[in-house]
Amino acid sequence: MGSGILSFQLVQNGFDNVIGIDTNVNAIIGANLECERLGYSDCVKIIHGDLFARCDVKADLIVFNPPWLIAKHELNEGIDKAIYYEKDLFTRFFGEASNHINKDGRIVIIFSNLADIVHRGEIHPIKNELDNYNRFKKELYLHKNVKASSKKTKRKNWRKNEKVELWVLIPNNSVN
């Protein structure tokens, strides 16, 4: 969910029954306001909760834009969880997603190679799922370089090798 941008883009591309979920109450407040402003309240249901919380439907499409770095510290609620994820987040996500996706559905994940750049050798949670479990297979993988950092930045320039990744997975029992 976050700002809700991905949910709103789904509506703009013809989806009329979208559910957006986030643990961050500020994201929920902001997304609700924006949803009303755009006039999408009939098409988008917004839920405050963890992963598929209080959501008992099966979907044709699940879009997941998780945080990109594994937490090495205790996470606080709020913006911390937009950047860092708990160790079990992806295991829980894929386990729950396999119960919430239709047989011919798609899971789209927007991720990054940032973890591998910042902490060399970090396990890539999507590759780990595909290599070690029999729940999903890869249908498509695209990646793109991110824009260069501002020249004024005082932070280390990770951006040179950073790529944003788009993964499309299908359930292993899919007919495709």
Ligand X SMILES: C[S@@+](CC[C@H](N)C(=O)[O-])C[C@H]1O[C@@H](n2cnc3c(N)ncnc32)[C@H](O)[C@@H]1O
Answer for which of 2, 45, 55, 95 binds ligand X (CB under 6 A) is 2
Q: Is 19 in the site for ligand X (CB under 6 A)?
A: no
Selection from 13, 123, 125 nearest residue 64 by Cα = 125
Type and span of the H or E element at 59: strand 59-64
Nearer CB in complex with ligand X: 67/171: 67
Q: Is 22 in the site for ligand X (CB under 6 A)?
A: yes
Q: Beta partners for 148? A: none
What φ, ψ does residue 67 adopt, rounded to 5°?
Answer: -60, 160
CB of 3 to ligand X, least distance (A): 3
Q: Is 50 in the site for ligand X (CB under 6 A)?
A: yes
Report the C-alpha gap between 77 and 13 in whole angstroms: 32
Nearer CB in complex with ligand X: 53/140: 53
CB of 65 to ligand X, least distance (A): 4
Total residues belonging to the chain: 176
Burial 63-91 (b: 16+ CB within 10 A, else e): bbebbbebbeeeeeeeeebbebbeeebbe
Binding mask 54-93 toward ligand X (x if CB under 6 A, else -) reads: -----------xxx-------------xx------x----
Q: Kindly identify the residues of this chain, within the stretch 113-172, that bind ligand X according to CB under 6 A.
A: none
Sites of contact with ligand X (CB under 6 A): 1-3, 5-6, 21-24, 27, 50-51, 65-67, 81-82, 89
